[in-house]
Structure 1
């Protein structure tokens, strides 16, 4: 996709930037469902070895799990206004490792690697554990499909704003985003499902969902642009318990 076409998509020329959320959801689910169908047809052909059958079955399971995560997140998003989300002290590094462990089988099936950049200094954040976990899963799932080369996707947690905020980020090494398109993306990040430059399979639905989850627990999401990719992050409050030490 060239830069001009990408700018048109973000500026409003793309179909998904002005359509209801369920249309964006259908677009996002199309890829995993098409892959499951393709893998199922390969199994039905009956000319696979036992090892190939095992591999295909595993890919079907992992791809289905990805689609189920998206539908579960959509359901949760529709109920955000109905519930109060308890905030609790959270170890960010522990949660990052949990997300990396959960997605490792899917990454391995794609020949990719996900890792956590560990740090010696302890951190303690304040957030809703389930919503924060879902945000990181969304970021890491997107990174899997758009990372390039052999570099691993890296999840990090760091202290910001003089220790009052903690940033959990997912760094991918995917297609670079031109400056003009990036500014348009930043100005409307999370406000609606929209396509992302050079990532045509994405409707931006995962970012929209992450934005909704973050708002529900007084957190915020953002992006950092790199020459060879991007970091999508969520900022949460640091726990006052940690500040006492």
Structure 2
């Protein structure tokens, strides 16, 4: 079907050329007859020369050569004695016609060369523009699927025939799905021979296609694929069908397109390797920091617990009741500290994953705050807590255990680092374009330096001020708070109060669609 369409297209083109040639010859002949009485034979010849130049510029090469012969025969037939015959009675007329034919052929040759150079210049400009646009587009591609689609479209625009692109997968095999068997075999051979194959090359020159590898055997890169399955740093291959045998410029353009795509594949693979190395480095750093925290923050309280328990076990009869109570108090305090550190560590590891598993449900902030305050007021310093919760607050879809841990950590820090009243204020407000529930935990402690307002939310970060140096901290409490807030799409920040102290602000988004009342 495609061959029939191509034949029909060529037929229409040849018919149009023939009609244009006929019209040009008729106009030249008619104009010469009109001017015959006013100009010499040389002037009439110039009219035909003009027709030949026009034919050479606008018609195909062989049609233009035919026009040259027709013009010479027409001038002989209509205007050289004896008229209306092809007989030439004078030698100078024969020489003039022969000279005119030679000039016509030379003009045709020069005009054809000029046309070819002009077309070549336009084609080179178009190809250079395509390479420039492709380079810009590929530079903005951040994933393999997008880059592959852009490359396929570039070959579809640059070449009229069908093009196939196959990449080496993670198993080291060329992915040739939906590619005809003949072309798939050519692509595999291209990878095996590590060179371009097809017409106009030294390998498989009888094929009506080019097989171009993506990559270079001398190019080194770090790939995430198995080295045993790689084929000398080649990413894949491209097949361009229906190409001309000696069209070296088109072949160079195809190679340039493959080179750009290879650079993008290398960049994406390098970026992936760098991200993987960065994640591995962060993982190693986190493990190192975690081990350091475990060795420091868990070993000391464990030693206190073991020492106090051993004293009670071995010297209970020698210790007074007051001394025994003191040892028991140490054991309970250290055990509570160990429980807090362990809980925060587990929650931090859980929430540090890319998709933390939240057990969300519709909760009332009044109930969460009430349960927290009731529990904390049982402590020795719990009488310093003062809570104020706004009425008719919207319900929040949250994980109540995590939110309770977040607010408890904030209140516990406020009690630990201050001596006055710790205020808890809960209200609903407009924050930007959304409604939020704001939980503010305020204290009258020494405050936090402005330059450390962000770093205090990092894991294992501790303040080193003199007033806080006596307080033990694993540096995970606020990091866990920030992780919980982000997991709920909320915000957690800290501000210094004017009269001294800190104000920790938690903003949790309110969903517009609230559950129906029971």
Q: TM-score if structure 1 supplies the norm length?
A: 0.71
Number of the residue aligned with 1:129: 400
Q: CA 1:28/1:230 → structure 2, altered by over 3 Å: closer, same or farther?
A: farther
Match of 1:209 among 441, 461, 480: 480
Are the counterparts in 2 of residues 165 and 237 from structure 1 also a CA contact under 8 Å? Answer: yes
C-alpha separation between the residues in 2 aligned to 1:120 and 1:169? 12
Are the counterparts in 2 of residues 131 and 214 from structure 1 also a CA contact under 8 Å? Answer: no
CA distances 1:130-169 after superposition (whole Å, capped 9, x unpaired): 1111111222222232112xx2323332223257111223
**Structure 2 residue 289 is the aligned partner of structure 1 residue 20:** yes
Are the counterparts in 1 of residues 376 and 382 from structure 2 also a CA contact under 8 Å? Answer: no
Q: CA 1:56/1:99 → structure 2, altered by over 3 Å: closer, same or farther?
A: farther
Match of 2:411 among 140, 150, 156: 140
Q: CA 1:76/1:168 → structure 2, altered by over 3 Å: closer, same or farther?
A: same
Match of 1:75 among 346, 352, 365: 346
Number of the residue aligned with 2:445: 174
Number of the residue aligned with 1:222: 493
Q: Which has the larger radius of gyration?
A: 2
C-alpha separation between the residues in 1 aligned to 2:304 and 2:440? 28
Number of the residue aligned with 2:372: 99
Stretches of structure 2 that go unaligned for 5 or more consecutive residues are: 1-287
Number of the residue aligned with 1:196: 463
- Which structure features the higher share of helix residues? 2
Number of the residue aligned with 1:234: 506
C-alpha separation between the residues in 2 aligned to 1:67 and 1:244? 42
C-alpha separation between the residues in 1 aligned to 2:330 and 2:513? 43
C-alpha separation between the residues in 2 aligned to 1:143 and 1:42? 34
**Distance apart, 1:229 and its partner CA:** 1.6
C-alpha separation between the residues in 1 aligned to 2:295 and 2:376? 23
Q: CA 1:75/1:203 → structure 2, altered by over 3 Å: closer, same or farther?
A: closer
Are the counterparts in 2 of residues 97 and 116 from structure 1 also a CA contact under 8 Å? Answer: no
Match of 2:428 among 135, 149, 159: 159
C-alpha separation between the residues in 1 aligned to 2:407 and 2:386? 12
**Structure 2 residue 427 is the aligned partner of structure 1 residue 185:** no
**Distance apart, 1:243 and its partner CA:** 10
C-alpha separation between the residues in 2 aligned to 1:232 and 1:32? 29
More displaced stretch, 159-168 vs 135-144 = 159-168
**Distance apart, 1:191 and its partner CA:** 3.4
**Distance apart, 1:176 and its partner CA:** 3.0
CA distances 1:38-95 after superposition (whole Å, capped 9, x unpaired): 7657755643326x64565356335412321320221122223264214332222221
- Secondary structure in 1 matching 2:409: helix
C-alpha separation between the residues in 1 aligned to 2:481 and 2:440? 12
- Secondary structure in 2 matching 1:165: strand
Q: CA 1:171/1:197 → structure 2, altered by over 3 Å: closer, same or farther?
A: farther
- Secondary structure in 2 matching 1:72: helix
C-alpha separation between the residues in 2 aligned to 1:221 and 1:58? 34
CA distances 1:147-201 after superposition (whole Å, capped 9, x unpaired): 12xx232333222325711122322222233xxx32x222334233312253234
Q: CA 1:35/1:102 → structure 2, altered by over 3 Å: closer, same or farther?
A: farther
**Distance apart, 1:234 and its partner CA:** 2.2
C-alpha separation between the residues in 2 aligned to 1:55 and 1:153? 28
- Secondary structure in 2 matching 1:155: strand
CA RMSD of aligned residues (A): 3.4
C-alpha separation between the residues in 2 aligned to 1:172 and 1:39? 34
C-alpha separation between the residues in 2 aligned to 1:140 and 1:36? 26
Q: TM-score if structure 2 supplies the norm length?
A: 0.37
Stretches of structure 1 that go unaligned for 5 or more consecutive residues are: 1-18
**Distance apart, 1:118 and its partner CA:** 2.6
C-alpha separation between the residues in 1 aligned to 2:374 and 2:306? 27
**Distance apart, 1:97 and its partner CA:** 2.1
Q: How many residues align?
A: 217
